[in-house]
Amino acid sequence: MIGVPERQRRMRVQQIWHWLYVRGAQDFDVMTTLSRDLRSALMQRFTLARPEIAAEQISVDGTRKWLIRLPGEVDGRPHEVECVYIPDANRGTLCISSQVGCTLNCTFCHTGTQRLVRNLTPGEIVGQVVLARDRLADWTVPDPMHAPDKRLISNVVMMGMGEPLYNFEAVRDGLNVVADGDGLSISKRRVTLSTSGVVPNIARAGTEIGVMLAVSLHAVTDELRDQLVPLNRKYPLRELLEACRNYPGLSNARRITFEYVMLKGVNDSLADAKALVRLVKGIPAKINLIPFNPWPGTKYECSDWQQIEKFSEIIFNAGYASPVRTPRGRDILAACGQLKSATEKLSARERLALRAMAMTD
Ligand code: SAH
Ligand code: SF4
């Protein structure tokens, strides 16, 4: 390693790791525990420059959305992903992306309509957490007198753009850095990966990543799920639930979250709720009901609030936690499934239409 004697390497790596992931160094110059020579050698070979934030939006509810520009372009259009910070009373959740766009075409998802797709690198995955800590001034400060009570980003969910289990190695390597106790230190119990159901990689996610698993279920019959989540034609419900049952590390303390988007008149009958309970029987689970977030051009509507409540009650009475995910940041298109980078920009009219939708429901 660039002239560092063998016996010092371990220590130097630890020091650099600390500067990068605990202190958030943006420059090698600030790494005062390293010799001047080593700092300049690093500077000549590497950069700590962050990717450009092409846009930052702040919702009326405090949610922040960043459009991050990454290297590479197609037909003159840059590669971009979105990353969303959602503050809450007792936690702050960062929603990160795993791909530019998505190759799957779930019919209710805005990201799925984006054609341009590429995998993120591990650095680009970790980089979203680093960038968010920069923007929120959420790094460890050396002076304990001025240290904040708690971290703004306490949880990470990989629920942004892309299907993480179709970019397995990069997601694994990136999340292992995010969870590293000597670095960013966001414990694996506070990191959740959401998959639309890439069955062959579910067990690997458990053993090689070990984060909490969320599964986008959305329907209780293959017939309907084939339409909503077309990947179901490849990996049908029976196989998906079998993989969930066998998820390594699954226990009552580490449950799988089943996500269920509430689509009016499509999957929201009370019979569906009962079938859902039967389907997940025996799996330590939470069921997260997501009110559908509309986007311009979609054929779906969100279920009525009363219906969502009745649906939730059936699940709750069967012994499952059934929180309804409060839509956050709808006014800035930051809610679940609304993410779509500016590589295909919304027209001003589409934006207005969306804003109007967000305000009325
Ligand atoms: N590709 C992964 C993770 C990203 S999507 C997956 O599909 O699981 C995160 C969650 O938002 C998924 O459960 C997804 O089905 C849901 N979602 C997508 N579009 C939505 C929309 N318009 N309204 C509400 N939820 C949506
Ligand atoms: Fe891709 Fe997930 Fe959207 Fe489906 S819901 S298109 S898997 S991002």
**176-196 pLDDT tens trace:** 999 999 999 999 999 999 999
What are the pocket residues of ligand 1 if the criterion is a CB atom closer than 6 Å to any ligand atom? 106, 108-110, 159, 163, 194-196, 216, 259, 261, 290, 292-293, 336-338
Ligand positioned closest to the Cα atom of 218: 1
| Mutate which of 259, 298, 325, 333 for ligand 1 pocket (most atoms within 8 A of beta carbon) | 259
CA of 61 to the centre of ligand 2 (A): 25
Q: What is the pLDDT of residue 9?
A: 92
CA of 113 to the centre of ligand 2 (A): 9
How do residues 86-110 score in pLDDT, each as one tens digit?
998 889 999 999 999 899 999 999 8
Q: What is the pLDDT of residue 227?
A: 97
Ligand 1, atom 15, lies closest to the CA of: 216
Q: What is the percent of the chain where pLDDT is above 90?
A: 73
Q: What is the average pLDDT across 116-124? A: 90
- The C-alpha atoms of residue 104 and residue 180 are separated, in whole angstroms, by 30
Catalytic residues: 82, 336
| Mutate which of 193, 336, 338, 361 for ligand 1 pocket (most atoms within 8 A of beta carbon) | 336
Query: pLDDT category, 73, cuts 50, 70, 90?
Result: confident
CA of 108 to the centre of ligand 2 (A): 9
Q: What is the average pLDDT across 233-244? A: 98
Write the CB contacts of 349 (distance below 8 Å, at least 6 apart in sequence): none
| Mutate which of 290, 338, 339, 340 for ligand 1 pocket (most atoms within 8 A of beta carbon) | 290
Q: What is the average pLDDT across 114-136? A: 92
Ligand 2 atom nearest 105 alpha carbon: 6
CA of 281 to the centre of ligand 2 (A): 25
Whether the CA torsion 118, 119, 122, 127 is positive or negative: it is positive
Query: pLDDT category, 113, cuts 50, 70, 90?
Result: confident
What are the pocket residues of ligand 2 if the criterion is a CB atom closer than 6 Å to any ligand atom? 102, 104-106, 109, 111-112, 162-163, 196, 216
CA of 142 to the centre of ligand 2 (A): 41
Which two tokens mark 83? 């990353």
Which two tokens mark 358? 């967000």
Q: What stretches of the chain adopt beta strand conformation (E)? A: 52-58, 64-74, 77-87, 92-95, 99-100, 118-119, 155-158, 191-195, 212-216, 256-262, 285-291
Tokens 């197609």 — which residue? 74
Ligand 1, atom 17, lies closest to the CA of: 337
Which two tokens mark 285? 């689970």
Q: What is the pLDDT of residue 342?
A: 45
pTM: 0.90
Query: pLDDT category, 336, cuts 50, 70, 90?
Result: low
Ligand positioned closest to the Cα atom of 108: 1
Ligand positioned closest to the Cα atom of 165: 1
- Whether the CB-CB separation of 92 and 29 falls below 8 Å is answered with no
CA of 140 to the centre of ligand 1 (A): 32
Cα atoms found within 13 Å of the Cα of residue 192, Cβ hemisphere only = 22
Query: pLDDT category, 147, cuts 50, 70, 90?
Result: low
The answer, yes or no, to whether residue 61 has pLDDT greater than 90, is no
The answer, yes or no, to whether residue 361 has pLDDT greater than 90, is no
Q: What is the pLDDT of residue 331?
A: 72
- The C-alpha atoms of residue 260 and residue 239 are separated, in whole angstroms, by 18
Greatest CA separation found in the chain? 69
Mean model confidence pLDDT for the chain: 89
